[in-house]
Structures are given as C-alpha cells and as structure tokens.
Structure 1
C-alpha cells in the first residue's frame, strides 16, 4: 500500500528508539556478567597463588617467612598492572567475590547471570562483610529480590536498613569500632584543584559543617564580600586547616616543595612549575609560591638541563639535597600504577649498594614499603631504561614506564 511505513522499517523513529533501549539493556546485562567474571577470575587466581606460591616468589624464596603472603601480594600487583587497576581495587574485588560466594550465593548467582547489576552486587558484598555468619541468610533473604529490581541509589538505602534489622551487635559498639577507621585523604583534580575528604563520626562531621556555615554566614553579609556561601565555606575550611585561622592554637610548620624553571621565575617564560604531591601548576602561582611563601622550599631548574642531580656519591646514605630532588622527580612510588606519595616512601638502590650500585639519581627511586619488600622478596624485577623504570612481573608481563609527573 502506497505511503504505508512498516513498524519494522528502520526509518521509523519508534523502532530506532526501541532498538536503542534494547541495546542499552543488553549492554548493561552483559557488563554485569563480564564484571562478575572479572571478580571470579581475580578471586580464583589468588587462590592459586596461595596454593602454589613458587609461581610468584620462586623456589629459592619459599623458605622466607610469610612466603604465601608475599606470593599473594605479588599476584595482586601482577593483576593490577595487567588490568590497569590499583592494587587496593584488585584486593577489594577479590574480597567482594569471596564474600558473595560465601555470604550471599543467590546474589552471586544473579550477578553472574546478569540479573543483578554490578553496583548492587558490590553494595551487598560491602554490607554482608560487616555481618556475622549467623546473620548472612536473613540479610540475603531481605535483599535478594530488591537487588535485581531496585536502582543502586535506592537499593543502598534498602540494603542498609536490612543490615540494621539483622545486625545482632549493639549499635554503640559498632559505632565505636567503626570510628577507629576515621581518616582524611586528598584526591587531585585538574586546573590546580584537589578534593580534601574526611571520614568522620557523623556528629563530628555535622558540628564541623555547622561551624563552617556559621563562619561563612558571618562573612557573606559583608557589603564588599563578592564570594558565594559555597566559596566562603571552602575558603574558611582551607584557612582553618592551613592554620591561617585559629592562630591561638599550636602552629605546626609544614614545608612543601615547589619547583620552578628559572626563566619562569624571572618572568621570561610561562612554563608551568611543579608543586610537590600535586604536579603542574600555572606559572603565576609558581612564581607567587617561590617568591613569597616561606613554607615552600624553592627548587630552581635549569631551562635546558633541568639540573637533574646524577652525581655518584661515595656514601650509602642519600644526602639531603639529592633526597629532596628525587622526591620532586618521582612524585610517587615508582612501581607501575602506585600513587603513594614519594614523601611516604623508601629510597631504594635499584642496583644494591653491596653489588656496586651507587648513591646517585640514576640508581635511586622511591618505592612504598609494600613494593620495596615485594621487589626483594618476590620474582618482580625492576630495570632502569632511558624512558624510566620497567617492571617485569613474576608471570612475565612487562610494564612500560609511567610518564614523569612533570
């Protein structure tokens, strides 16, 4: 019939929309199945590492204390490098698989079949891990249906409520134990900004926020105040933590390195500087910090050579000037993908001092305590190449050097 458009005709927008919806649903289901398979593979690989530690630590290391633990850590590092994940993430995913298999097998089955989305499965694993074995069945009974039908934003609330109902421990004791995990951390963003996050008891967090609100509200009404309330809260929090406000309390001096190309410092170049623990900062900020902030240690670099200190030393101990430069150069632990600050790491002689290695920039690099011990107690191998540092895993995977921090 002339002018008739079939519902199956791809030119029909209704059909295209329906196909798009179906593709999205299929992709979500497939992604859940794939993620469940990833968790299962990680979990099973670590079981193999514990059962056959010689794969990761080598026969000659089997006699060392905690050989199995080192094998597991070496395997986690191997997986992290191959998958492009943080080691903490690999460990967490292995634990999620273990908990779901043990504590919520029906949720695990639905997750592997694609019926339960990955965010909901992670929520179940995280909450089930905090419950005693006697409460696992009741908890799974309460959330297994919702896990497949409720969106993650709402499911978290449902699952938390179910956990509270089946939790046999006293709430006060639970809070006391969880409060021991309080901490503060920083996550770097772009354009010279970072997130400063604190995990605190709720009462403390609420009082802290109320105090910020009170101070910010007292400032926002000033006739010449251009900042918004949100900006004032952030500025007040930063000033309080940096010691600008509340000077009646004890003052603790903090030294942070800022590395500035000499031409930038002289105003002849706009090449960015480097702020220790963060990375590149704009030239104006670098000049201001280098010129006016007494709590910043100024490190000037030659515009051509970069003044890299690569002078052989005759002593094992790393001199303070070289140590400071290396801290700026590396920025973080030099193991592939590790983000621990260099300031919190060990300085390792890549070629051991006893084997003729020198105390020089070309033979020194920062390793966090975990990767330092892993280097010496497992089959992980490190090598200096012109582009940086290359690591070879116990299973033969070679990782390319991470790019420099500046």
Structure 2
C-alpha cells in the first residue's frame, strides 16, 4: 500500500500518516471530509453524553456528601444540602466555562434520559443520536408526567426517528407529546400562561434584543397592532424606513413611553460619561447602566435631553472615581450608584444578573474588618451571595475591583475587572 505524508488542509487539519491517503481527486477529497465530519459528529454526541452524566454524578455526590462543599458539625440540614448543590453547580460552571443554568439543565436532562428513556440514553452514550435530538427527547419527557407506559412508547418512537433532522424530529416529538399527554390542552395552556415573561439580551454595536413569551392571542394582537401602525407609517410619501425598522420603532415608542409621554412611568438609567466626551472634545465611549459601552454621540444626547438619565462624570485622564474608606456598614447612595455602573452585573463567574437586582456584598466581611468602600464591595446575585457566605467558596478583591474566586475543590478564577 502506498504511503503518503501527512495532509494539511486549509483549516489546519492534519491527517496522521497511517490514515492519510491520495487526495488528488476531488471525489476522494469530498469523501474524506464527509467521513471526518460524520466521525466528529459521533464524537461530539458521545462526549456530550459523557459530560452530562459526569455533571449529574457530581450533583448527586453533593447531595449525598454535602461536607465536600459546606462545613458541617452535625447531620446536614436540607438548607445545607441545597447550598452544597448550588456550590457544586457553581464549581462545575467555572471549571467548564458554562452558565450555571446550562449545568443544571444538562444534569436534569441526563437524569431524565437515563431513568425514563434508557434505550435512547444508551445510543446517545454511543454517539448514535445527535445532541439536538437527545435534548429534544429530554425536554419532551420533562413536560410529560412520569408514566412507565407512555415513557416506554416515547423511548421506542424516539429510537425509530433518531436519524431525522432536528427540526423534523422536534415536530414528531411535539405531535407524540400531544397524543401521550394525559391532561387536556385547556389545563395545560392555563398552566403554561403562568410562565409568560419578558427578557433582554445585549448585542453588539450599541444594540440589544427584547423578547416576549405570551399567550398566542396576546402575541397575535400585539403583532397586528404594531404591524398595522408600521404599515400606516410606511404609506407616508417621505418615509424611508423599512417595515422591519418601522415595527421596531413603533414597539420601542410604545414600550419607552415616547408615544405618550404623559402616561409614561418615570425610570432612571445611569450613563457614565467621560468629561471630554461630554464636552465634545473626545469620542471615548460612555457606559449605559445595565448594558455597557455606547457611542459618545448617543450619550451626549441622553444626558442633554433625557431627564430619566443621570450622569456620573469621570476624571478626564484616568477615567476613575476616587474613593475613601467608609466608616459605616451601609454604603451611601452615591457609592451604590457608582458601584452599580462599575460592576454592571453580578460579579460571580458567568452570572449576567443586573447589578440593580443584586446584593451589594462586602468581599471581606464587615465583621472581620472589611470596609464599606469601592475596593471591598461588589454585586452578587442573592444565590451567589448565599453560596459565598455559607459554603466553602472564597473570594478576594484586589486593586481596581478585580476578584479571585476559589471553589471548595480548589479551582480558581480571576474575574474580568470592571471596565473602569
């Protein structure tokens, strides 16, 4: 058999010498890349299943042996077990560079598949079903009451359909769920409506996404109203905006109160503006509370014309705010406002909870000599605040607000410093 040197493609992939072959023909090159892609897909599925199983085992160990994560002097209480599990979730999230919600979801899905769809779980462990389809089965199982007969039916049907594309597989699972669900759609809709919500995701270039999860009638009514107003505006002879832009502008006007200022609730949003930018002598970005960097021109307009925005001016050279140690436990309003802008979100690894809804924590406890100053305060989600105070997690704050977190199992993480 002819031996060929390692083949290096445009993406930097290197074939080991024992598997390289003559790729002078285009059909051979296509076949080899298809084989690589198929093999990699199986590896991804196997690795994801193994990771999900390992995460579930860690949380199970934290429940059985909470002493790994919390200090115990007696039999653990339910609260201590819960805190141990939260601490383990945080440990996993930091080690795996995942969101804590993702860690919890992966553990829950592993348990669901292992206990309620064991045949599908076994082929998932072997990489014979895609990650998307396996997760779809777990989501479907989670929405169905546990029942050995219906679980067995779903497990078997999922095996039959395992090779379908994710979108088609999801449609089949949704149809099967309707057939297997013991409760009426009316009851389920009433319950599902309790999960309605409104959320925001920050995007690039000074933009952000807003989302609504509503009942279908409310969503359709809202869409028709916004679309109708947008189409009416589009008929104006001098209108240059697209329909998508018009719909977005109409919705923004409604939600911000610009369409009816008299009835709009008053809100306050912080804008941190470098002094030279405010004076028009620099284009250094400003910082919008709860979002991050915005362009200087937008910041100047907000601070000049919007009474719902307050300004915090920074030093024109160092861009810092000087701070002195406080002699009281509760931080004064000006310090709280500055810290909310400095931190933006919870300072624990990966947490995006807005600083506005977080606890303001003393990194070094007040009772142990910690001061109420910018150098010893940071925002923490109440859950992470509890984990810090009541588990073996530790945090140390350094110069300029940098934090070092150490998990109960010894993993460390140096937080990104705040932007100022």
Question: So what's the TM-score if we normalise by structure 2?
Answer: 0.92
Task: Tell me the equivalent position of 2:268.
Answer: 255
Asked if 1:136 is matched to 2:174, the reply is: no
Counterparts of 2:316 and 2:119 in 1: how far apart (Å)? Answer: 62
> Relative to 1, partners in 2 of residues 1:159 and 1:185: Cα closer, same or farther, differing over 3 Å?
same
Asked if 1:76 is matched to 2:89, the reply is: yes
> Relative to 1, partners in 2 of residues 1:355 and 1:115: Cα closer, same or farther, differing over 3 Å?
same
Select 2:109's aligned residue among 96, 104, 125: 96
Task: Tell me the equivalent position of 1:266.
Answer: 279
Which secondary structure does the structure 2 equivalent of 1:116 belong to? coil
Pairwise CA distance, 1:265: 0.5
Task: Tell me the equivalent position of 2:302.
Answer: 289
Asked if 1:369 is matched to 2:382, the reply is: yes
Counterparts of 1:269 and 1:252 in 2: how far apart (Å)? Answer: 33
Asked if 1:42 is matched to 2:55, the reply is: yes
Counterparts of 1:115 and 1:87 in 2: how far apart (Å)? Answer: 27
Counterparts of 1:380 and 1:231 in 2: how far apart (Å)? Answer: 47
Question: So what's the TM-score if we normalise by structure 1?
Answer: 0.95
Preserved CA contact (<8 Å) 2:71 2:391:
yes
Counterparts of 1:63 and 1:16 in 2: how far apart (Å)? Answer: 60
> Relative to 1, partners in 2 of residues 1:106 and 1:44: Cα closer, same or farther, differing over 3 Å?
same
Counterparts of 1:93 and 1:65 in 2: how far apart (Å)? Answer: 23
Which secondary structure does the structure 1 equivalent of 2:287 belong to? strand
Preserved CA contact (<8 Å) 1:61 1:378:
no
1:86-109 CA-partner distances (Å, limit 9, x unpaired): 111100110010111111111111
Pairwise CA distance, 1:309: 4.2
Pairwise CA distance, 1:65: 5.4
Select 1:315's aligned residue among 312, 321, 328: 328
Which secondary structure does the structure 2 equivalent of 1:133 belong to? coil
Question: Is there any run of 5+ residues in structure 1 with no aligned partner, and where?
Answer: 1-7
Select 1:23's aligned residue among 24, 36, 39: 36
Asked if 1:185 is matched to 2:199, the reply is: yes
Select 1:117's aligned residue among 119, 130, 140: 130
> Relative to 1, partners in 2 of residues 1:62 and 1:288: Cα closer, same or farther, differing over 3 Å?
farther
Asked if 1:395 is matched to 2:389, the reply is: no
Structure 1 segment 41-60 matched on structure 2, within 5 A = 41-60=54-73
Counterparts of 1:131 and 1:320 in 2: how far apart (Å)? Answer: 49
1:240-281 CA-partner distances (Å, limit 9, x unpaired): 111112457x43111000000000101111110000111011
Counterparts of 1:394 and 1:110 in 2: how far apart (Å)? Answer: 35
Preserved CA contact (<8 Å) 1:143 1:162:
no
Counterparts of 2:64 and 2:210 in 1: how far apart (Å)? Answer: 41
> Relative to 1, partners in 2 of residues 1:365 and 1:31: Cα closer, same or farther, differing over 3 Å?
same
Counterparts of 2:387 and 2:22 in 1: how far apart (Å)? Answer: 61
Asked if 1:160 is matched to 2:160, the reply is: no
> Relative to 1, partners in 2 of residues 1:9 and 1:313: Cα closer, same or farther, differing over 3 Å?
closer
Superposition CA RMSD, Å: 1.5
Task: Tell me the equivalent position of 2:313.
Answer: 300
Preserved CA contact (<8 Å) 1:56 1:74:
yes
Question: Is there any run of 5+ residues in structure 2 with no aligned partner, and where?
Answer: 1-20
Counterparts of 1:81 and 1:62 in 2: how far apart (Å)? Answer: 28
Pairwise CA distance, 1:357: 1.5
Matched residues, number: 397
Asked if 1:241 is matched to 2:293, the reply is: no
Task: Tell me the equivalent position of 2:338.
Answer: 325
Counterparts of 2:77 and 2:368 in 1: how far apart (Å)? Answer: 21
Task: Tell me the equivalent position of 1:340.
Answer: 353
1:205-255 CA-partner distances (Å, limit 9, x unpaired): 11111111111111001001110111100111111111112457x431110
Counterparts of 1:85 and 1:405 in 2: how far apart (Å)? Answer: 22
Pairwise CA distance, 1:59: 2.7
Counterparts of 1:322 and 1:338 in 2: how far apart (Å)? Answer: 22
Asked if 1:145 is matched to 2:160, the reply is: yes
1:55-82 CA-partner distances (Å, limit 9, x unpaired): 0112348656511111100000000000
Preserved CA contact (<8 Å) 1:349 1:359:
yes
Deviates more, 1:61-70 or 1:166-175: 61-70
> Relative to 1, partners in 2 of residues 1:26 and 1:383: Cα closer, same or farther, differing over 3 Å?
same
Select 2:244's aligned residue among 224, 230, 236: 230
Pairwise CA distance, 1:352: 1.7
